[in-house]
Structure 1
C-alpha cells in the first residue's frame, strides 16, 4: 500500500511541477497587445482619441515612423475639444480601434466649407469639424500630391498638455485619461508620420505557477518518504526467522486481571512500539505537507486587492457640462517658462519685435518704450525680467471658448544685493486656439498684499463682465475712479471707496506729488510755463476674475498725460533725460507732452460689502512723449 501511495505522489508531483513550469513558459500569455495603422501618405495631422488609447488597461506606448523629416515630427496631447478646435479648418485623419477583434480603421475628417474658427478672434473658435466617416484605405504606392496651401504648425502651442518633438516623438509613453486626445503631425507643411503603432502592456502574472511547483516538490518529498518507508518495512518483514523448538506445556490459567480506569494501557510488544514510532512521524509529515500545499493554494486563490482608479470629473463640482479650467498647473508652468525665455531674448536685444511674440497691450507698450529709451540712454534701468518660476498662484478661467484668460503670480529671485523682491503678477490672454498665451499685464505686487480667497486652479474662476453691477465699483469704472483720486486726492468722490492706507502709488504720483511738482516749477521758472495733469483710459482691456467671496480681481490700464507748455514768449521747456530719449526733443519753444501708462490690479469687493477697493500691485512708466504746438 505504501508503494502505491508513493507512486501516486510521484505522478501528482510530476503533473504539478510540469503544469507550474508550463504556465511560465509555453503557456505564458503575450507581454503586450499591439495595434498598427497606416494613414494616407499626404496626411498632415492624425488624431487618436482617448477611447482608442484606453481600449486596453495600462500605460500606452505610441510609436511613429514614416516621416520625411524626423526633426519636424511631433506628438502632443490635449483636451479633445481643444484639439478639434485647433484643427477646425484643417483636414485630418482619425484612428479607430475595436479591442474585441483588434480591427483598426482610418477615417478622414473634412472641415465644413468656410470654417475659420481656429483663426478667428471670437467664440466661434470652438466650432468643430464635421467628420465624413469615410474609411481611407492604406496607401499602396507613392504619396499623393499635397495641397498647395501649407497648414499651421502645431509645435510649441500653449494648447497642449504635453508635447514631444523630433526624436523624442519616436516612442512616447503616456497615461491619457478620458476626454484627452493625441495629435501626431509634422510642421504643417510636410506630412505627418504615416505609420502609427499603439502598444499596451498585458498582465503576464501566473499566480498558480509558484504554488503548483512548490506543491509538486512537497508531494515529491512525501512520495520519496513513503517509498523508503515501504522498502524498509518490506525488508524487515522478510528477515531470518528462528525454527520453533518443542512446545512448552501449558501453564494453568491465572485469574483475569481487570485494570481500573486510572491505569493506562501499555503498548503490546516491542514491534508495536517501534511501528508506532515510525508511523507517527510519517503521518505527521504527510499532514504537514498536505496542509502546507492546501494553505498555499488557498492563499494563491484569494484575489489580491488592487487599487482601482476613482472616477473623477474634470469639470467643477463633478458636472460634466461645467467648463473646465483653461490650463492645468503643469501646462501653465510650461507656458511661463516659454514666456520667460522670450522676454529674456527681447530684453537682451532691446527688440520690440521679439517682445511681440509674447507681449500685447499695456505690457508690450511699456516694454517698447523702455527699449526705445535704453537705446539712447544706456543708464536707463530695464524692466523686471519674467522669471521662469516657481508659481505661487494660478487662477485660470473656467471656460471652453475663446478668448481665455489666466492669472499667475510668479516668485521673483532676490536682487543683486540679496534683498527679496515682490512677486510678479501676470494676466495672460489667449485669443484663439492657435494663438499662444500673451502677457497683457505684468505688475509687481504691493508689499504685504492681502490676496483674496480664490478658487483652486483645478476648478478655475469665471470672468466678470466689465459692466457688472454686482461689485462695489463696476470694473469698467475702476480705472477712471482711481485716476480721479490720483488727480484730486481726498477731494475725489471716489476717495472713500478705496483703501489707500498702504497704497504706494498714491504716495509716489498722487495729488500731493503733483502739487509739489507744480510748485517747484513755478518757483524755479516763474510763470514762463505751466504743468498740467489729465487722466484718460488706456488701450488695455478690463479683465475681471471672480473671487470666492463674490468679489473680483480687476486689471485696468489708465493713462496720465503730463503737459508742460510754454506760456511766455521766448521761454523754453527743457525735457528730462528720459523724455528726451523717447521723444527725440531735448527742449521746445512750445511744449512737451509725456504720457505715463499704468498697469493696475485691484481687489473689488462685492456690492454691499463693508470692505473697500484696494490696490494689489502696479507697474508704471513713460510710454510716449512728443513735442506739442
Structure 2
C-alpha cells in the first residue's frame, strides 16, 4: 500500500511541477500592455494626457509612426495647453479600454515649430517614427505634431510593462515539493517494512580492499596460508586451524623482526573508499536518505525567494480613486514652479551661448533672442559705442559658475518669472542675481535683469521644486508697493536726506548711494564748471514692470525694478558750449558740442528685499541687495 501511495504522490508532484512551469512559459501573460489609437487625426496637434499615461503602472513607452517629420514633446499639462492656445487640437482619451480622440476646434489651423521651447522637459524628433520612454506624472502631457500644418500622426501606440502576475506558480511549486517529499518518505517506509518482513538473510563479508588483496598475493607467492579478512569471521565462531597456523606464522614473523614487503603508501582517497565499503548497512541507508532529502529541502527553501507576483494577493483591494488625486499637503494645493532645475540649467546654458556670440559680433538682434527689457537696452547701447570706439569695455557677461539659488515663480499663467543667484568660476568676482521673464507660452525666457550682489548679502528662498509665489505690483502686503519703489529710490538718490523716502532707504551698506547718490551729485555741482553750466538731475520710470517674488515665510519679498536717471547740462551764458564726456558719451552724442545743452541718461537696475507690512504700523527699511548701472543715451537739448 505504501508503494502505491508513494507512486500516487510522485505523479501528483510531477503534475504540480508541470502546471507551475506551464504558467511561467506557455500560459505566461505578455511582457507589456499595449494600447493603440483607434481614430484618424485631423488636427495639427495631438495631446496625450497624463490621465491616459497613468492608466497602467510603470514607465510608458510611446511610439509614433507617420509620414515625414514627427516631433513629440513632454511638459506640464498647463504648459502644453498654454502653448497650443487657440489652435485646433485633439486630446487622446481612454474610452472603455481603447484610445479615442476628443477634438477641439480653436480657430488656428496651424502651429509654429514646437521643438526647442523652454517649456518642455523632454523632446524627441525624427522622420517616420519617434519613440519616447518616460515616467510621466499625472499633471504632465505629451504633445505630438508633424510639420505644424499637416495633420498629426494617427499611429500612436502606448506600452506599459506588465507585472506578469502568476499567483499559482508559488503554490503549485510548493505543493509539488511537498508531494515529492511525501512520495520519498512513503517509499523509504515501504522499503524498511519490506526488509523487516522478508526473513533472515545471509551475512556477506565485505570484499577485501586492494591492499589486502596485494598482501594475500604476496603471501601466496611465499607459500604462506591465505587467511580470510578479520571482518569475515563470524562473531562467536571458532577459528580454523589453518587460520591459527597462519596467525602463528605471522606472529613469528613479527617477533623475529622481519619486515614484510610493502607497496606504495596508501592515499587519503584509498582510505575514504575503504571506509565507504566498510560502512555498516544502517549508515549507508542513512546516507542515501540524506542525499534524497537535501535536494527537496533546498528546493523548498528556494521557494521563499519567489516574488509576490508568484503568490495570490490576499489583501483587500483598495478603492480606485476617480478624477484628480486629492492633495495631501499644502504644497499640493499651490501652483507648480514655473521651471524645473533641469529646465533652468538648459535655459541658462543657451543664454550664455547666445549672449557670448552676440557680444563677439556686436549683434543686438541675436542678443534679443535671450535678452529683454533693461538688459537688452543696456547691451544694445554697449554694442553701439563699442562699434565706434573699440577701447570701450564690453558689458558684463553672463556668470559662468554654478547656480547657488533658484527661485521660480509658482504660476500656471503668463507672464511668469524666475530668479537665480549664479556665481563665477573666478571666485573673486561677486555673485550675480539673474531675473528671467517669459511673457507668453510660445516665447522663450529672456534675461531682463542682472544685478551685481552687494557683499555680505546672502539670498535665501524656498526649494526650487516648490518655487515662490509672485505678488502684483500694487500689493498692499509689503512695506512699499513694488510699483512705487523705483520712484522712491530715485528720489533718494537725488535728494538724499531731504527726501521723504530717506528713512526707508538707509545709506549704510548701500554702495550705489555712495557712488551716484546725493553726496556725489553735490560734489559735481561744486565743480568750477557749474559756474558756467546749470546741471539738473531727474529720474523717470522705464517700461519694464517690477518682478516680485516672496522670499521667506515671514512674507518678505525680493523686488527687481529699474528706472532711468538723467543729468542735463545747459550753458548759462551765450558762447558757452557743452561737450559730452569721453568714452561712451562721445560715442553716443549726436554732436561734438552744443550751445543748448546735453542730457545723459543712465539706466539703474536695483534688487531690494522688502519686508512685510508690520501690524503695528512701524516703518521698516528696505535693503539694497544688488544693482547695475549703465549709460543708455545722450541727447542734445532742444532750444
Q: Which TM-score band (shorter chain)? A: 0.7 to 0.9
SS at match of 1:457: coil
TM-fit CA distance, 1:87: 1.8
> Which stretch of structure 1 is more off in the superposition, 215-224 or 553-562?
215-224
Q: Is the 8 A contact 2:180 2:296 kept in 1?
A: no
1:431 matches 2:442: no
Matches within 5 A, 1:392-431: 392-414=404-426, 419-431=427-439
TM-fit CA distance, 1:610: 5.9
TM-fit CA distance, 1:439: 1.9
TM-fit CA distance, 1:560: 1.1
Q: 1:177 aligns with which of 120, 137, 149?
A: 137
Q: Is the 8 A contact 1:530 1:565 kept in 2?
A: yes
Q: 1:326 to 1:241 in 2, by over 3 A?
A: closer
Deviation string 1:180-224 (CA, Å, 9 cap, x unpaired) is 211011342354333211111101365764785587468657756
Matches within 5 A, 1:95-494: 95-98=92-95, 102-111=97-106, 150-166=110-126, 170-204=130-164, 206=166, 209=169, 216=176, 223=183, 227=187, 230=190, 234=194, 301=311, 317=330, 320=333, 322-387=334-399, 390-414=402-426, 419-451=427-459, 454-494=461-501
SS at match of 1:346: helix
Q: 2:85 aligns with which of 85, 88, 95?
A: 88
Q: Mark the structure with the bigger radius of gyration.
A: 2
1:604 matches 2:610: yes
Q: 1:425 to 1:316 in 2, by over 3 A?
A: farther
Q: Is the 8 A contact 1:211 1:297 kept in 2?
A: no
Q: 1:590 aligns with which of 585, 592, 596?
A: 596
| TM-score, length-scaled by structure 2 | 0.76
Deviation string 1:448-476 (CA, Å, 9 cap, x unpaired) is 2143x534333333333323343222322
TM-fit CA distance, 1:23: 2.4
1:626 matches 2:586: no
Report the Cα distance in structure 2 between the residues aligned to 1:188 and 1:374, rounded to whole angstroms.
41
Q: 1:189 to 1:380 in 2, by over 3 A?
A: farther
TM-fit CA distance, 1:392: 2.0
Report the Cα distance in structure 1 between the residues aligned to 2:328 and 2:444, rounded to whole angstroms.
23
Report the Cα distance in structure 1 between the residues aligned to 2:540 and 2:17, rounded to whole angstroms.
90
Matches within 5 A, 1:447-596: 447-451=455-459, 454-520=461-527, 522=528, 525=529, 527-547=531-551, 548-575=553-580, 576-596=582-602
Q: 1:535 to 1:313 in 2, by over 3 A?
A: farther
Q: 1:96 to 1:428 in 2, by over 3 A?
A: same
TM-fit CA distance, 1:368: 0.8
**Which residue in the other structure is 1:119 paired with?**
none
CA RMSD of superposed structures (Å): 3.7
Gaps spanning 5+ residues in structure 1: where? 116-146, 243-273
SS at match of 1:371: helix
Deviation string 1:355-398 (CA, Å, 9 cap, x unpaired) is 22222211111111111111112122222222466322222222
| TM-score, length-scaled by structure 1 | 0.77
Report the Cα distance in structure 1 between the residues aligned to 2:393 and 2:153, rounded to whole angstroms.
49
SS at match of 1:487: helix
Report the Cα distance in structure 2 between the residues aligned to 1:346 and 1:537, rounded to whole angstroms.
28
> Which stretch of structure 1 is more off in the superposition, 549-558 or 457-466?
457-466
Report the Cα distance in structure 2 between the residues aligned to 1:26 and 1:389, rounded to whole angstroms.
58
TM-fit CA distance, 1:297: 5.9
Report the Cα distance in structure 2 between the residues aligned to 1:283 and 1:315, rounded to whole angstroms.
60
**Which residue in the other structure is 1:614 paired with?**
623
> Which stretch of structure 1 is more off in the superposition, 494-503 or 57-66?
494-503
Report the Cα distance in structure 2 between the residues aligned to 1:325 and 1:77, rounded to whole angstroms.
16
Report the Cα distance in structure 2 between the residues aligned to 1:565 and 1:168, rounded to whole angstroms.
70
Gaps spanning 5+ residues in structure 2: where? 203-279
**Which residue in the other structure is 1:265 paired with?**
none
Report the Cα distance in structure 1 between the residues aligned to 2:400 and 2:134, rounded to whole angstroms.
25
SS at match of 1:574: coil
TM-fit CA distance, 1:40: 3.9
TM-fit CA distance, 1:409: 2.0
Q: 1:39 to 1:407 in 2, by over 3 A?
A: farther
Report the Cα distance in structure 2 between the residues aligned to 1:180 and 1:599, rounded to whole angstroms.
37
Report the Cα distance in structure 1 between the residues aligned to 2:130 and 2:386, rounded to whole angstroms.
46
